[in-house]
Amino acid sequence: MSGCRNHWCGIWLDAIILPYLFAFGHKLQAQSIPEMKDETKLVTTGRDPQNNHGVVNPPVYHASTVLFPTVAELERSQKERLQNDSVFYGRYGTPTTFSFQNAVAKLDGGHRTIALPSGKNAILVSLMAFLKSGDHLLMVDSVYGPTRSLCDGLLARYGVTTTYYDPLIGSGISELVRPKTKVIFTESPGSQTFEVQDIQAISEVAHKNNCLLLLDNTWATSLFFKPFEHGVDVSIQAATKYIVGHSDAMLGVITGTQETFGALQESALDMGAPPGPDDVYLGQRGLRTLRVRLDRHMSTGLVLAAWLEQQDMVSKVLHPGLPGDPGNQTWQRDFMGASGLFGVVLKPTSKSAVAQMLDQMELFKMGYSWGGYESLIVPTNPSHQRTATQWDASYPTLRIHAGLEDPQDLRQDLCQGLQRLAHASKS
């Protein structure tokens, strides 16, 4: 009897229910999914197969000149060139650019997004949008090295003063705000030393003093940290890293609020540096698998970090997802996950001993950047880029990116490396 019921249920579903759902699917979807989850947004946003001959992925448009059939259309396009999805001239964007930007904006939870040729360019465009000669910038001391070089070089030459602050300062940053402070820049966690900033507390200080709060959110991405829910005014990512995810394209993104977007857009257009369409396409393709990749990066990174904590040659591990990490409580409060990037502080040893460890790594390769499918390891010296805080350089530091390889294989590679380190340290 039960088999009969199952049979007729199948017929009922195929003959009646499915056609009903097909006919009214759009209406039902609008009612049942008022706010899609991020995993669904990653798959569905920035796509329009109906207007692209049914093609699943948005096509790549290579364009400089765009033709218009009439003077009226030419003039209309000129007036609407700053509107989203308005094709005017290649430098202003193409359907390839717009589809990617729309997807990132949905994930970030901001007003609109601008794609740029690199993460550093995205940082530069963001800073130049809100700073002028005579202004004061508060910059976190653990910031990405190229960002510091912008502050100490280009911005300084154009009359912008930068004060670096302790990444753990929290609401105490109010004591550093000056009458001409216009921007407070955050990076949480720092990409070398992984301090987690109290973005909410800093945001309250910033807005109380009419400052804008900018965040480099590359480590967490918009999946693991929602910038605009914590008072951020501009969210920046080096899409080169986790969004692209395959170490084969340079790309940056900026997402602004309705209040900040106009200045960001003007700054980006003044810089005249649009991203290449092929790189944008790779960024958009990377979005589709971002969640599954990040989950794997996170799980492998946590496994390796916890194991490294127990090793004799390791002084400490810098990973906010570990219970003993100084930033763990803030991370648990504000974040929804962790990426695969973390630091390892070794016990005092020689530079040559560290080289003995790293030169023969089989799976962990040495190279800059991170966020790709492959595991990376590089020696770092944060003391070279600290002015507001100090870092003890007598303890060698490594930066590790956990890729998508088998975690046991990666652990074995690290184990053999630590054995070489121990042997070289004794000799």
Element containing residue 155 per DSSP (H, E): none
Indicate which residue of 38, 216, 279, 413 is catalytic.
Answer: 216
Q: State yes or no: is 144 an active-site residue.
A: yes
User: What does the alpha-carbon distance between residue 361 and residue 271 come to, in Å, rounded to a whole number?
Assistant: 41
Q: State yes or no: is 409 an active-site residue.
A: no
User: What does the alpha-carbon distance between residue 189 and residue 272 come to, in Å, rounded to a whole number?
Assistant: 30
Tokens for 182, please give them: 């216009």
Sign of CA dihedral 149, 315, 337, 245: positive
Indicate which residue of 241, 288, 291, 420 is catalytic.
Answer: 241
Q: Find the distance separating the first CA and the last CA of the chain, reported in whole Å.
A: 79
Chain mean position to CA 214: 13
Q: State yes or no: is 426 an active-site residue.
A: no
Indicate which residue of 76, 81, 89, 91 is catalytic.
Answer: 91
Query: How many CB atoms are located within 10 Å of the residue 165 CB?
Result: 23
Q: State yes or no: is 91 an active-site residue.
A: yes
Indicate which residue of 61, 92, 144, 164 is catalytic.
Answer: 144
Write out the DSSP string of 41-76.
Answer: HHHHTT--GGGTTT-SSPPPP--S----SSHHHHHH
Chain mean position to CA 17: 42
Q: Which residues are catalytic?
A: 91, 144, 216, 241
